[in-house]
């Protein structure tokens, strides 16, 4: 499984219609105009896949 940096994840979110809403420290919150999710938080650090 490929791991993504937070910057790569932010690009993927923006490509799928999410937009930056606010930042709380290192947590960046994103919203989507049509999804029922209130906000999605992205921590600015390297994200590693979970090994199963």
Query: Residues with Cβ < 8 Å from 40, sequence gap 6 or more?
Result: 13, 18, 29, 30, 31, 32
Which has more pLDDT, 36 or 48?
Answer: 36
Residue 13 has a pLDDT of 86
Of 8, 46, 14, the closest CA to residue 32 belongs to 14
Q: State pLDDT tens for residues 1-47.
A: 778 777 888 888 899 998 988 888 778 888 889 988 777 777 765 55
Give the pTM: 0.67
Name the CA dihedral angle for 41, 36, 2, 4, rounded to a multiple of 10 degrees: -30
Per-residue model confidence (pLDDT) at position 49? 52
């Amino acid at each position: 499984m490929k791991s993504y940096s937070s910057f790569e994840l932010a690009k993927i979110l923006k490509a799928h219609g999410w937009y930056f809403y606010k930042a709380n420290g290192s947590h960046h919150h994103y919203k989507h105009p049509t999804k029922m999710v209130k906000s999605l938080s992205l921590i600015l650090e390297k994200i590693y896949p979970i090994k199963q």
